[in-house]
């Protein structure tokens, strides 16, 4: 861990420690809505002034809150959420990748959808493959992609050993593929196979699950 990453990690630890107290978490919840004077916070929380001062000092030291003087009554101050206060609460970019390889068994639905969704949010190259590829992309995958305005890659299902590279960041999107292939550098998403039910709802569910996970993963990867 380099110095910059270590400093960022310690800052995140401090913020989580500050928010571990229910009262401080409630204060931050309120500050996401607007600015409050200590008196207003005290009245809203029913908290003694000395205890509120302790909580506010802790939030300020953790970089979660700041205070400034009122332009009307200089004796009065307001507490506000610090700029970017909540950004450090989620992990930052921690992995590098030359290419993201999405893998499922048939390479006909989940992995194809994952590539299409990934290309909407990341410039890191991506592709997909299957451990036992089908003859064609599933009609349900084509339909759900079309409903959401997502363009599937113009590639038929392909075998994993024809596509994989040692430097790929591998994301298995089905349990069968994850449990079949050797352990490789990457992660696993346990997404139910929409083809088991082969209904519109099943494909919509898989699409939503993949989209959410990709939205969480993309900020965590940076190009190698």
Question: Model pTM?
Answer: 0.73
The confidence score (pLDDT) of residue 93 equals: 62
Verify that 197 and 103 share a domain, yes or no.
yes
Verify that 68 and 114 share a domain, yes or no.
no
Range of the domain at 163: 95-223
d(CA 35, CA 85): 14
Verify that 74 and 117 share a domain, yes or no.
no
Q: Which of 39, 66, 88 represents a domain boundary (last residue)?
A: 88
Segments of the chain scoring below 50 in pLDDT: 1-4
Token output for 14: 């401090």
Q: Judge residue 185's burial from the number of C-beta atoms within 10 Å of its C-beta, 0-12 exposed, 13-18 middle, 19 or more buried.
A: exposed
Verify that 26 and 134 share a domain, yes or no.
no
The confidence score (pLDDT) of residue 5 equals: 65
Verify that 203 and 109 share a domain, yes or no.
yes
């Amino acid at each position: 861990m380099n110095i910059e990453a270590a400093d960022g990690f310690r800052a995140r630890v401090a913020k989580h420690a500050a928010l571990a107290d229910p009262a401080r978490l409630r204060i931050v919840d309120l500050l996401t809505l607007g600015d409050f004077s200590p008196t207003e916070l005290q009245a809203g929380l029913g908290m003694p002034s000395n205890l509120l001062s302790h909580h506010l000092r802790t939030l300020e030291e953790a970089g979660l809150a700041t205070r400034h003087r009122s332009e009307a009554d200089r004796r009065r101050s307001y507490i506000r959420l610090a700029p970017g206060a909540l950004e450090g609460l989620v992990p930052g970019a921690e992995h590098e990748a030359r290419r993201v390889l999405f893998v499922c068994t048939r390479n006909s639905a989940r992995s194809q959808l994952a590539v299409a969704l990934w290309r909407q949010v990341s410039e890191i190259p991506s592709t997909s493959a299957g451990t036992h590829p089908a003859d064609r992309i599933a009609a349900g995958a084509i339909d759900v992609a079309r409903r959401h305005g997502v363009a599937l890659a113009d590639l038929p299902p392909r075998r994993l050993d024809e596509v994989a590279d040692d430097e790929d960041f591998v994301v298995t999107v089905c349990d069968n593929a994850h449990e079949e292939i050797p352990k490789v550098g990457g992660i696993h998403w346990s997404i139910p196979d929409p083809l088991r039910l082969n209904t519109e709802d099943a494909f919509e569910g898989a699409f939503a699950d993949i989209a959410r996970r990709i939205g969480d993963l993309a900020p965590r990867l940076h190009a190698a």
